[in-house]
Structure 1
Amino acid sequence: MLGWLKKAPAVPRLPEHMIAKMYNIFRIRTLMGIFVGYAGYYLVRNNFTLSTPYLASEYGFTPSQIGLLSAAMAVTYGISKFFMGNLADKAHTQRFIAIGLLLSAIVNIGFGFSSSFALIFMLLIFNGMFQGMGAPPCSIVMANWFSKKERGVKMGIWNTSHNIGGGIIAPIVGIALGIFGTAYWQAGVFIVPSILAIIIAIFVLFCGKDTPQSVGLPPIDEYRNDYDDVERNPEGDKLSLKEILFTYVLKNKFIWFLCLANVFVYFIRFGVLNWVPLYLTDVKGFTQSQYHMAFAAFEWAAIPSSLLVGWLSDKLFKGNRMPLCIISMVGVILGTLVYWQSTSVLAISIAISVIGCLIYVPQFLIGLSAIDFVPKFAVGTTVGLTGLFAYLFGNLTASALVGFIVESSGWNGCFILLLVSGVMASLFLTLIQIGRKKQIRKLAANA
């Protein structure tokens, strides 16, 4: 790794009277940096979904081809998230985030000048690779700057960033198309979001800091006297990436349960989100403005739920994240049934909002649990592994498999898979809930 991107070294501790003030300043700055930065990632990720009607009408791409394009992004992003997460454990987090966003924006500019299937496919692979530099270092920032008893609230705030980024992209594209016209849809869908992402990348680069120790502050658990329920190793930062992966991640059964639950959660998320434009226009008869509103509602509805759930998981459930996950999955299953069977524009729009509101709850809390279940020096690798499963298996099947199913047997097969995924996700989340309760009791007895 380039020296400029390496983890910032610890510096001498600041005087005691300065610590509280500087902690407050840097925590606000770092949270702002990852919030705005990760929203920027979604400006140059979700915009591709809004291009699918134009890819079909202007370039003649079939549903299976569009599914393969989405799958290319999903597979590359999942693999990249794992490897980039592993690298991020040794990286300067803010710089890592900013560089990834900048490179993703440059790739999106390339989309604006591409029309062939092969070239778009190749660019999506590059975009997926650079997109993997976003989430893992953001999770590391959360682990480094916020302790367990406050992490749910702060993670809930950060988690809304991708809903805001994913939610505002449709209005941004709509305004840009109004200015440039549909004849120049590439500018509205790809170029404008890329310019905004570049500006955000520059902001992130100068906003936050790497770790508290790198600016003369004590570790967050020491500062707040709030320690995670995990094995602690003072020499953890000296371990190799391989040692971190095999000792603290792959041997943890709860991380595997999180990975499997994440597969089914992501299948539902992208099985709905990726196909909203085509399904609503082809089957439900929605207009362009109606499906743009439904697409945005899927993301916007998750904002209040993320904030509320983060607070509830900290205050009411005392760091136990799984009950809220299971409750939310029941609501997702019911919302999916309405989305499938209803013919009312209003009811379908509400159902999409409900699915968006609730599907991000287990996704958010699975990511938060990945932070809770391992030491801080293994957070990036763990988040990367859960992301690998989510995108390599969940998003991939939601992108490629759904396209082939729709072409061969219609949309009913897609919705059956969505409902089965809801049940399977609930099963693995329940196994985590039962197992973690036993583990915590055992840790308390041995303390």
Structure 2
Amino acid sequence: MEDGAMRRAKSRVNEFVLIYMGYMTFLAARKSYGFWLPSVLTTLQVSRGEAGVLGSSFEFVYGGCALLNGVLIDMASPKLLLVGGLLLSSCVCIGISMSSSLPVMVALWAFHGLVQSVGWPSVTNVFLAWFPDPATRGAWYSLLSTCQNAGAATVPLVLSFAMNYYGWKAALYVPAVSCVMMAMVLLLCLHGSPAAAQTYHGGARGLSREPSSNAVRRPPSVSLLINTVLFNKSLWLMGVNYFCISMVRTCLSDWSAVFLPESKGLSLPAAASALFFMETGGFVGSLAAGWISDRLFAGRRGPVVCICSSMIAPGLLGLRLVKAPLLIQACYFYIGFCAFPVHVLLGLFSREVVPPSVGSSAGGFVKCIAQAGGAFAGLPLGALQQRAGWDGVLCVLAGMGILSGCCALPLWGVVAGENKIMARNGSVADFANMQPRQHAD
């Protein structure tokens, strides 16, 4: 008979695989935008600036909800949030495929920002429940974060192949079907926490897999939020840094299917291949980021964030000059390798410079600013491209890379606490025992 420790280890791996694949599917619905956008430009005969409203609306709603939905994510079941989010993402994709009105598409894609904003926090809550000890979960968290790279790398290849045979609406149908299928898998197979798994395996047949937790996290006071989050210089520096990095990443992800064929003469499959290399570089960089910050900088995130941010500008300027497909792919790999470690580390870094009771609020605050950067990659950069061309866009993005490095430089010496974080049924209250060793105001 399988003992309890072996069963828990097996369940933990199963849960990890499920949330990894679940968020990859979430991302497929989100990353399809860059592939159906060119056809929207042609079909609806709208300008790039007008079409850019689609991307901007998504980013603004996503960012606002990332700041405000912490209470919902704390109270609701992460399993049900993931299942419901996948089903709603599928509905959005189908709705856009049936629409011929830009305002309707904008409304649907903005609503999609709300749906997507619960995805990663819910995945993180499940992860924290199964990996409560930070001394052993660092490598697992780095591996989990690569689901974003793996998903974003797979999506261009799959969608470009499907679009060659079934037209541009395949970029919406494929994610829609995938989301429904994954939602059913999570509904049937995901537990959500060790307590839920224990109830399922040890209780009578038909029992709910969701844990019943009566513990309620007390919300922080308004004065504490103002003093430690809104007036925290470190968080503002992280936010501006993340704004710039998000602007670069979102622009390349959303506009490469238009930029590379127009400016570099690449086919759509070749453009998808370049995005694949960017995500592959991000995959490698994400895995390396945590290890480097722990081993080479004694747990300090600032040096890695600063170095990686500063290295982005040369890649963007190089992309402006090169023409050969192989060199373009190399530039995309390099940019992904530099940009994604910043994305991975700032989510944790923002929680390490504030008191534990406002950790989630700090993370949401920085993420909200980052989404504003992503929003600027829509309408503003679309309008800039019409006036200054793609060379002008790349120069602006290179400037954003330089600014991000300057913002990260004052964070070089900030060191986080090392207290063990205890999990509580997949809630963000896992951060309740974290104490910062040094608080940078």
Amino acid at match of 2:260: L
Structure 1 pair 209/378, CA: closer, same or farther in 2 (3 Å)? farther
Q: Mean Cα displacement is larger for which, 22-31 or 159-168?
A: 22-31
Structure 1 pair 61/103, CA: closer, same or farther in 2 (3 Å)? same
1:195 aligns with 2:177: yes
Matches within 5 A, 1:420-439: 420-436=399-415
* Residue aligning to 2:150: 164
Amino acid at match of 1:190: L
* Residue aligning to 1:5: none
Distance 1:157 1:435 in 2: 24
Matches within 5 A, 1:4-403: 18=4, 20-21=5-6, 23-144=8-129, 145-180=131-166, 182=167, 185-186=168-169, 188-212=170-194, 237-240=216-219, 249-250=229-230, 252-373=232-353, 378-392=358-372, 394-403=373-382
How far is 1:23 from its partner? 4.5
Kept in 1, the 8 Å contact 2:93–2:173? The answer is yes
Compute the RMSD of aligned alpha carbons.
3.1
Distance 2:38 2:288 in 1: 35
* Residue aligning to 1:412: 391
Kept in 2, the 8 Å contact 1:259–1:390? The answer is yes
Deviations 1:60-96 (A, max 9, x none): 2211112111111111111122222342133322322
Deviations 1:289-347 (A, max 9, x none): 21121122222321122122233334444432222222222332211111112222221
Structure 1 pair 124/139, CA: closer, same or farther in 2 (3 Å)? same
Kept in 1, the 8 Å contact 2:33–2:254? The answer is no
Structure 1 pair 135/378, CA: closer, same or farther in 2 (3 Å)? farther
Kept in 2, the 8 Å contact 1:139–1:380? The answer is no
SS in structure 1 at match of 2:30: coil
**Percentage of matched positions with identical amino acids:** 23
Amino acid at match of 2:105: I
Amino acid at match of 1:154: W
Distance 2:371 2:335 in 1: 19
Q: Mean Cα displacement is larger for which, 302-311 or 127-136?
A: 302-311
TM-score when scaled to structure 2?
A: 0.83
Kept in 2, the 8 Å contact 1:89–1:379? The answer is no
SS in structure 1 at match of 2:98: coil
Structure 1 pair 247/277, CA: closer, same or farther in 2 (3 Å)? same
Q: Mean Cα displacement is larger for which, 156-165 or 87-96?
A: 87-96
Amino acid at match of 1:303: F
Amino acid at match of 1:148: P
| Contiguous gaps of at least 5 residues in structure 2 | 200-213, 420-434
TM-score when scaled to structure 1?
A: 0.82
Distance 1:438 1:98 in 2: 34
Amino acid at match of 1:402: L
How far is 1:260 from its partner? 2.2
Amino acid at match of 1:28: V
| Contiguous gaps of at least 5 residues in structure 1 | 1-16, 218-234
Amino acid at match of 1:171: L
* Residue aligning to 1:4: none
Distance 1:443 1:81 in 2: 27
Amino acid at match of 1:176: A
* Residue aligning to 2:205: none
Amino acid at match of 1:280: L
Distance 1:358 1:416 in 2: 17
Q: Mean Cα displacement is larger for which, 435-444 or 238-247?
A: 435-444
How far is 1:430 from its partner? 2.0
Kept in 2, the 8 Å contact 1:140–1:376? The answer is no
Distance 2:26 2:183 in 1: 9
Kept in 2, the 8 Å contact 1:328–1:358? The answer is yes
How far is 1:249 from its partner? 4.5
Distance 1:139 1:250 in 2: 24
* Residue aligning to 1:9: none
Kept in 2, the 8 Å contact 1:72–1:121? The answer is yes
Kept in 2, the 8 Å contact 1:280–1:291? The answer is yes
Kept in 2, the 8 Å contact 1:325–1:365? The answer is yes
Amino acid at match of 2:245: V
